[in-house]
Structure 1
Amino acid sequence: MVMPNDTPWSGLEAGKVDTRRVSASARWNWFWAVMPRADVALVLQLGDLPKPTPDLPKLRNLEIRFQTLPGGPILYIRLKDNAQLELFETLCRDVMGAGELAETEAEALERAIGRTFRWHYLLRGGKLEVLSEEAQKGLVGEIEVLKLLIATIGAKPALAAWTGPSGAPKDFELKTDCIEVKARRGASQPFVKITNEHQLADVPDRRLWLAVLAVDQVQPPHGMMLTEYVSEVTEHLERTEPSAIMDWDMHLADVGYDVLHDYSAWRWIVSAPDFHAVTEGFPRIAAPVPLGLSSVSYSLALSACTPFRTDWGDVQAQLIEEVQP
């Protein structure tokens, strides 16, 4: 069996592992490959296997694995459904483009794996629709708080603490602190919507903060698209801590963000967050609620929260204490 013409795998033989180097001028050892079952693949030949071995994406139509061959270890991305050949070629070239920006093989591997996570929803048959305006607004608010945490405790701890996309009760859960984030329109009535009784419930042995941001839709050329807010963080991680990009991409996938969706119809501006210490006397309906009640939502007047207002410097000082040895 011969691969279809006009693809990078043309001329490679099925029925055995057959490979062709992508480019003699490439910085890293990329190969087009055909696997024994006639499945096409992209291979990155490595000098050494990383230790510890990083987590790999689990995608419905792809197999992504490390393997040790007589010539050395490899990472391969294999397409299980040749009906998606054209799309897979686009993915492969995108993955290679990300890897070629790396200065070291280890960084090239991190970038390659991280880029596959960005195709997470597309290749597993994910959401076809863009995020709603409300969901975009909420994500912009959480990204702003995430940026503060990255600058304070580092990218990996900050991303590990970002639990909102996974459906946890609080948006950020750290060892001794939790942060709930609420985005509101700046010109709206001074209330925020609390969507259930768990959002402002106490967590044993942890401080709880409520962060409120004004996120407003504006007309061009003002503000930024959601994709630009995402790109800001991505570019920062690529410069400072590329090993955290996988975590970042997984969180975005969990929240339903797809890099291929078009968000050009919406532009947003966001304020600095106002922080409140959710302590005794704070106005809230919190779990446990009376038997038979659940999913209790209510509007919280920000004027009633004023006595509990604090600034980011106070919150930051507590977080720095948490990460100090």
Structure 2
Amino acid sequence: MILNDTPWSGLEAGKTDTRRVDALASWNWFWAVMPHTDVALVLQLTDLPKPMPDLPKLRNLEVRFQTLSGGPILYIRLKDSSQLELFETLCRDVIAAGELGETEAEALERAIGRTFRWHYLLRGGKLEVLPEEVQKGLIGEIEVLKLLIADIGSKPALMAWTGPSGAPKDFELKADCIEVKARRGASQPFVKISGEHQLTDVPDRNLWLGVLAVDKVNPPHGRTLKEYVDEVTEFFERTEPSAIMDWDRHLCDAGYDPMHDYSAWRWIVSAPDLYIVAEGFPRIAAPIPLGVSGLTYSLALSACIPFLREWKEFRFRLIKEHQHEST
């Protein structure tokens, strides 16, 4: 017998022993104790997926497909028994995600996607919450991402979101790049440009500057950063669960850890003002004199008014370009 007061309590060590998680569950989930007393979560499948999807690789977990006499399975095995409490939380989260699937294939996709979420969290969790300025910037980028998702779809929009990975521009589309700036609505009408590359022309692409007002407010007004993130996560879970892996990777790269408490900050955000960075736009751009680097300067938005454009103008071009790519 093994592991009192856990889902694996009563299962025999030394051989693969299983117990169904819930007789009322839509899919065939099992608690399991594998050889060498390692505990696991098992999803029994009718068929292996084709093509075989990538699976997360974690130091203390093994995630694999296996074909047994009773049919194929996906299993998640814990290799470090000291992490049992966290592993149970992970398993229940994966089960909850998989149960949202309407078919076995979708349940498997959701389960793997949720496991990848844990993969990115455990790989890149941060020790401290993001500071206020970084929270503002991330909320601004998320709002622009939502607009792009509405226009071109989840996966193309996520692919275009390059800011968290450290790219010079926050969004890089086939024919356009967008640099996003978040500012306080009540502050002087300036935005901070960090580096000579942020507003540098990109060959064969239009460059846009998106400016949003992101203001801190008192409860019950506004939303926390976690609520902004959860809104997008829930949208993906409902509409395109396979996009969740990319979404979590971007959040991890941006330094966001969902385990941190962001309840002390609540924010409201405006729709973006969009400026075309074209000839005559006020900026310092590369090339700059040899030996000069790391420039930071303030850009007066009043000087940018001649370059202000409607989002619907940008949207029309974007959708047209995306439709052309899809044909």
| TM-score normalised by length of structure 2 | 0.94
> For residues 125 and 37 of structure 1, do their structure 2 counterparts lie closer, same or farther at Cα, with a shift above 3 Å needed?
farther
1:212-257 alpha-carbon deviations (Å, 9 max, x no partner): 0000000011111111111211222222222212221221122122
Task: Name the CA distance, whole Å, in 1 between partners of 2:135 and 2:57.
Answer: 26
Give aligned pairs, total: 324
Report which stretch shifted further, 110-119 or 218-227: 110-119
CA displacement 1:5-63 (0-9 Å, x = unmatched): 11112233333333222122211011112232332211111222223333333333322
1:41-120 paired onto structure 2 within 5 Å: 41-120=40-119
Match of 1:194 in 2: 193
Q: 1:157 to 1:189 in 2, by over 3 A?
A: same
Q: d(CA) in 2 for partners of 1:192 and 1:59?
A: 41
Counterparts of 1:234 and 1:24, CA distance in 2 = 28
Separation in 1 of the partners of 2:263 and 2:95?
A: 27
Residues 191/73 of structure 1: CA separation in 2 closer, same or farther (3 Å cut): same
Measured in 1, the distance between the counterparts of 2:257 and 2:116 equals 10
1:264-284 CA distances to partner (integer Å, 9 max, x unpaired)? 111000000000111122122
- The corresponding residue for 1:181 is 180
Determine whether 1:131 maps to 2:134: no
Q: What is the one-letter code of the residue matched to 1:101?
A: L
In structure 2, do the counterparts of structure 1 residues 30 and 18 end up closer, same or farther at CA, with 3 Å as the change threshold?
A: same
* In 1, Cα distance between equivalents of 2:200 and 2:236: 33
Range with greater deviation from structure 2 (110-119 or 213-222): 110-119
Structure 1 residue runs of 5 or longer lacking an equivalent are none
Which letter maps to 1:17?
T
The whole-number CA distance in structure 1 between the counterparts of 2:124 and 2:274 is 38
Deviation at 1:170, TM superposition (A): 0.9
Equivalent positions of 1:271-310 (< 5 A) are 271-310=270-309
In 2, Cα distance between the equivalents of 1:167 and 1:214? 23
Residues 211-222 of structure 1 correspond to what in structure 2 (within 5 A)?
211-222=210-221
The one-letter code of the counterpart of 1:308 is: F
Q: Which runs of 5+ in 2 are unaligned?
A: none
Check whether the contact 2:275–2:304 (CA below 8 A) recurs between aligned residues: yes
Partner Cα separation in structure 2 for residue 65 and residue 284 of structure 1: 52
Aligned to 1:8: 7
1:63 maps to amino acid: E
Which segment is superposed worse, 273-282 or 54-63?
54-63
SS at match of 1:89: helix
Q: Distance in 1 between matches of 2:186 and 2:204?
A: 36
